[in-house]
Structure 1
Amino acid sequence: MHFGLSEEQQLIVDTTRAFVENELYPHEGEVERTGHLRRELVEEIKAKAIAAGLYAANMPADVGGAGLDTLTWLLYEKELGRANYALHWTCVARPSNILLAGTAEQREKYLFPCIRGEKSDCLAMTEPGAGSDLRGMKASAVQDGSDWVLNGTKHFISHADIADFAIVFMASGEEESPRGKRKKITAFFVDKGTPGFTVRDGYRNVSHRGYTNSVLEFDDCRLPAAQVLGEVHKGFEVANSWLGATRLQVGATCLGRAERALNHAVEYAAQREQFGQQIGKFQGVSFKLADMATELKAAELMVMEAGWKYDQGTVTDQDMAMAKLKATEMLAFVADEAIQIHGGMGLMDDLPLERIWRDARVERIWEGTSEIQRHIISRALLRAVGG
């Protein structure tokens, strides 16, 4: 692993950072103030992102994406992560790479329109009674002739209100396992407007204003077999094969926000004076800055190493769990310390710090809670010695 950036990587970092600062930062205040992302603004920024080559940059070149390797993609995600989440995720979309698991017909219908910015997707797994334990889902898919009939509820489904279709995971049967019966899971494409499929407003969220969540309801929603993504009863395997790197994506966006918060803290500590000197000269503040920078560096190294190993084919679940755990908990620490250094001013919405602090909270929950990441890490350690 080389620690320096190539000329191409540096260009991508510089281009993405300039885009974020020039096209996204100016609209953060509006989104934070209203909690709403205007559709016309989405289309305006999307057009600029497509023109800049930043849209769907996570996708392989042979399907129309930028073809970035994982490490470079994470550098790109870090830069986007500096901005309000709704702005960078909705306007500079990165379609779920699970779309690559589709058939040729499904790619034409779903993948390519998402890459061109004509459609958008959402991923539906979580239920009111099934979060970390996906096998505990109750929403079901029952085969009826050549069709499938879906029933049940999904919630906390990000940006489902503006998505054109959902990739939905449903319990489709049971099988025996060493621990007893467990659910078989199948993934489906479900288009907006399909009879029996309803998208309802979700919950108000303290984190990521403008980035909505919805409740999806399925009431005898009938789908043809052509809407199955991957193999029947193999939805869990499809998810594990294609969604693993999303934990690294979360980690990378946390790096960008933490770096922005640290930069504000450093500048303020150098400018603000109390008792006749800059507050950065007081050990109580200077040591905070040192700890923030050290934690950020450690998290960045873990995320980028995992990305590099992903491309080498040597990454493990433990690597990705460690990276996600460290980056999300680091962001919470850095955001909190940045506010402490600013004092009361840090809590005012004149600065992005109170937003970064609020937004940091969800990162330790979605894409696997910190407790789940610790379980993955400890399980790997114990299995190595027969535990």
Structure 2
Amino acid sequence: MDFGLSEEQKLIVETTRAFVENELYPHEREVERTGVLRRELIEEIKAKAIEAGLYAANMPADVGGAGLDTVTWLLYEKELGRANYALHWTCVARPSNILLAGTPEQREKYLFPCIRGEKWDCLAMTEPAAGSDLRGMKATAVQDGDDWVLNGTKHFISHADLADFAIVFMASGEEDSPRGKRKKITAFFVDKGTKGFAVRDGYRNVSHRGYTNAILEFDDCRLPASQVLGEVHKGFDVANSWLGATRLQVGATCLGRAERALGHAVEYAAQRQQFGQQIGKFQGVSFKLADMATELKAADLMVFEAGWKYDQGTVTDQDMAMAKLKATEMLAFVADEAIQVHGGMGLMDDLPLERIWRDARVERIWEGTSEIQRHIISRALLRPFGA
């Protein structure tokens, strides 16, 4: 593994960071204080992101994306992660790569408009009674002739209020397993406006202001067979094939925020004077900085090693689980310590630290909780021994 960056990678990092600092940072205070990301602001920044070549950059070149390898994509995500989440995720959208699993007709209808910035997608798996336990989902899809009829509820669905369509995972049958009956899952495209499909306001939360969640309700929502994504009853295969690297994406955005928090802490420790000297000269502060930098470096190496292995075709679920676990828990530590270095000022919204601290909390929950990541890691360790 080469730890140096190519000239192309350096250019992407510099371009993305400049965009974040010039086009996203100036709007953070508005979004944080109002909790709203205005549609006109979305369109304004989106146009600039498209012009800069940063929009849908996660997609392959043959479908109109930037064609970045995984390591370069994670470098790009790390830089975007420095900013308010709603600003970078909505205005510099990265459509779900599960759209690549669609048929040619589905790509024309869903994938390409998302890449061009004409549509937004959202992904719906989680339910009120089925979070990490996706096999426990209650929402169903029942075949009726050539159609499918969907019933049930999904929640915590990110930016579904903006999305033009949802990619929805539904229980579509049962099969035998060594542990008894288990549900088969099928994925569907559901367009907003489809009869029987409603999008309701979600919950207010402390993390990622301006970045909304919604409740999706399906009441005898009838879909033609052409709306199935992938194969019938093979929804988990589709998800596992196309969504694995999202854990690395979460890890990379955490790295960006942690770097920003550490930067503020170092600068403040070098300038703030107490008891006749800079507070950075006191071991109580300087050791905090050392620990923050060390934890950040460790997480950075784990995320990018996993990304490199992803490109080599050798990455494992354990690699990605470790990277996600380390990066998200590191961010919580760095954000908290950065506030401690600043004292009371760290909690004031003049600085981004209180936002980074609040936003860090959700990272240990979505895309698989820390407990789920530890389960994946421990099972990988024990499996060779039959335990």
TM range (shorter): over 0.9
Q: Report Cα offsets for 1:19-67 as digits up to 9, x if no partner.
A: 0000000000000000000000000000000000000000000000000
Equivalent residue for 2:214?
214
Q: Report Cα offsets for 1:126-179 as digits up to 9, x if no partner.
A: 000000000000000000000000000000000000000000000000000000
Cα distance in 2 between the residues matched to 1:312 and 1:70:
10
Q: How far 1:238 sits from its partner (Å)? A: 0.5
SS in 2 for 1:384: helix
Cα distance in 2 between the residues matched to 1:182 and 1:61:
38
Cα distance in 2 between the residues matched to 1:147 and 1:252:
41
Equivalent residue for 1:149?
149
Q: How far 1:384 sits from its partner (Å)? A: 2.0
Equivalent residue for 1:302?
302
Aligned length: 387
TM-score, scaled to structure 1: 1.00
Q: Report Cα offsets for 1:204-259 as digits up to 9, x if no partner.
A: 01000000000000000000000000000000110011000000000000000000
Cα distance in 2 between the residues matched to 1:191 and 1:88:
24
Cα distance in 2 between the residues matched to 1:28 and 1:225:
43
Q: Report Cα offsets for 1:318-372 as digits up to 9, x if no partner.
A: 0000000000000000000000000000000000000000000000000000000
Q: How far 1:180 sits from its partner (Å)? A: 0.3
Q: Report Cα offsets for 1:101-150 as digits up to 9, x if no partner.
A: 00000000000000000000000000000000000000000000000000
Equivalent residue for 1:360?
360
Give the superposed CA RMSD: 0.3
Q: Report Cα offsets for 1:77-100 as digits up to 9, x if no partner.
A: 000000000000000000000000
Equivalent residue for 1:124?
124
| Structure 1 unpaired stretches of 5+ | none
Cα distance in 1 between the residues matched to 2:306 and 2:272:
38
Q: How far 1:385 sits from its partner (Å)? A: 2.2
1:98-137 equivalences under 5 Å are 98-137=98-137
Cα distance in 2 between the residues matched to 1:384 and 1:375:
15
Cα distance in 2 between the residues matched to 1:167 and 1:256:
28
Cα distance in 1 between the residues matched to 2:256 and 2:206:
20
Cα distance in 1 between the residues matched to 2:215 and 2:240:
24
Equivalent residue for 2:325?
325
Q: How far 1:269 sits from its partner (Å)? A: 0.1
Cα distance in 1 between the residues matched to 2:122 and 2:110:
11
| Structure 2 unpaired stretches of 5+ | none
SS in 1 for 2:132: coil
Q: How far 1:386 sits from its partner (Å)? A: 2.2
